[in-house]
Amino acid sequence: MSRAPPAQLRLVLYLLQGIQSILQNLIQFFQNIFGVAHLYLLKKVIRLTKIPPRSRDGRKFPAVPPCLAAIPAAHSAQRLCRLAERLARRLTLAVRPELLALTGESVPPGGSGGNFNRFLPGWGLSLRPGLPVGFRQFTFLRHSRLRIWNTLIIFRMWCLSRHPQAAVFSKPVWFLRLRPFVVKSTRLFLPTCHLCSTFMRKLFELRLPAQFWLMFAGMLISTIGASMIWPFLMIYVSERLAMPLTVSAGLLTINSVCGLISSFIAGPIIDRLGRKWVMAISLLVNGLGYLLMSRAETYPAFVLLMILQGAANPLYRVGADAMMADLLPVEKRVEGYSLMRLSNNVGVAIGPAAGGFIASISYEYAFYGAATGLVIYGLLIAFLARETLPQPVGGPAAVLRQPERFGGYGHVLRDQPYMTFLLAFIFTQLSASIMWVLLSVYAKTHYGVTERLYGMIPMTNALMVVFFQIPVTMLTRRFNPLPVLALGGLLYGLGVGSVALGSGFWGFWASMVVMTIGELVLVPTSSTYAANSAPADMRGRYMSLYGLTWNVAAGIGPVAGGFLNDWFNPQAIWYGGGLCGIFSALLFVFFWLRRPAAEPAPASKIP
């Protein structure tokens, strides 16, 4: 039976309102970033250009702002200038003519009056006459769109200071002054901008490969889709099948058991067949699973789909971890894994908020979104990525002379330090799995927190990772990884255990904040430790066992939490999760005291 037109119209209006809200938030977010960056750059130029340096031909140019000095001098100034000019021309198409306030020069309609106007026609600068030759003061007009152009101006000045031969200016420009209220307001942003500029400088210095950024973009797309449905999956299954929490959580146990088996197989497959196509097939199968899940009506159907996804998930995860270790050298892996987490959590910030809104209308559309994101990422990997599997000595044919490559888990299991690390990490993952799987059901059942409101909790986690992961990583990388892991496990335990003390949305939100701080500390450090522990020809197996920890935790944690809920009381779930986190911290401390200088440095069999 078809729906009535008014209901369809309301659905379309709801979707349009949700899309409009998301776009408005993103626009405001990027406007704030541009505003902060522009104020910071201009403040630096004011401070550093009071005594202008001279170029080779004696002309004066502004000093290089520190946040721009990180750009390698080898970059072509001509190419960078052309890029800035093209962007400026596109932006000026939307500028009204009255914004251009030039004094002392006439500007034809085509915008070719004066060298500055040839660079940025209609950029909104006022030239004050009466100043000495070679010295003109520029006043920036107050307009929101001009923030981008002001940043481009400073970028252009940097190009001139590095490459005077690229100049198109007929007169040197070396002094910029802002109005006093703008300069004062800049002081509020300097601490944050210092962290951002430091991160950008480090990012330029890393020079990560293009395939890394392909994985970065694909992770963002797929995570937006998957996180639209995963936080609400238990609510959907419980309501759809009208089953108790313990039975519904059993689906996750089935998923995790299949993932456990698949993880053992994934390592040798990826070390033998390569990373690329295994990852692509895994993503496409997962997308198909979400599509079929929107049509499932019975418990056996959900069981089959959970088996399918449980078998496919580890193939992508292990392949991605191995590909990351192949692409990045040891000294860049901490930053690389941190950036991938940033991409993942940007998706998690957008996905649950959009998914909670869409799920309140229809879960079917949320499943479609999840399937679309995974399929897009799978196609990107299939058609744009290259294979990164290291080749043994003698080329690919040498693989035939190494029958142990398809096994080899005995070597990993005999690595006692690595296995001790995995044991401690499993308890941390137990704590996290309870939080992520059961908090939504607990909050809605006992405190009436709706899906739309609960979506703000995982979004908070994601935003904290987006804004604070890089600074925290820059801080924690200075220390031995084992005490850092112990601190992260302790924060996990405190965050999960404090849920039992909460009595509403804000209490649960605060608990997520505490756990997220532990996540910022622990997860990139653990990924880097696991990757650094693996020889090049056994990365698939090592990362397979590392990824296995989540399958073990996701299989035990929710079911154990369900039993604690049914046998004792709902608060017992969180006390148990908190104890798991604290116990993991104690294991990391014990491991650290036994091996105070534990720094994995394996010898690869492949040069």
Nearest to 41 by CA among 161, 181, 155, 179: 155
Nearest to 318 by CA among 267, 355, 369: 267
Which CATH fold would you assign to the domain 208-390+404-594? Growth Hormone; Chain: A; (1.20.1250)
Q: Hey, what amino acid is at 297?
A: E
> Are 520 and 469 a contacting pair, CB within 8 Å?
yes
48-52, 192-196, 308-312: range with highest mean pLDDT: 308-312
Confidence tier at 202 by pLDDT (50, 70, 90): low
How many angstroms separate the CA atoms of 502 and 508, rounded? Answer: 6
Place of tokens 């920036």: 140
Q: What share of the chain is helix, strand, coil (3-state, %, to 5)?
A: 75, 0, 25
Q: Number of C-alpha atoms within 13 angstroms, CB side, residue 167?
A: 20
510 against 21, higher pLDDT:
510
Give the tokens for residue 400.
Answer: 């035939």
CA 527 to chain centre: 15
How many angstroms separate the CA atoms of 545 and 541, rounded? Answer: 6
Read off the pLDDT of each residue in 174-196 and give the average, rounded to a whole number. 39
CA 432 to chain centre: 18
pLDDT digits (tens, 9 = 90+) for 450-507: 777 887 887 788 778 877 887 888 788 778 888 889 999 999 999 998 888 888 888 8
Residue 452, exposed/middle/buried by CB under 10 A (0-12, 13-18, 19+)?
middle
What is the reported pTM? 0.53
The end-to-end CA distance of the chain, in Å, is 66
61 against 221, higher pLDDT:
221
How many angstroms separate the CA atoms of 520 and 579, rounded? Answer: 20
Domain regions of the chain by residue span? 5-189, 208-390+404-594
Nearest to 459 by CA among 252, 227, 273, 234: 227
pLDDT digits (tens, 9 = 90+) for 531-551: 777 776 676 677 777 877 876
Determine what percent of the chain is predicted with pLDDT higher than 70: 59
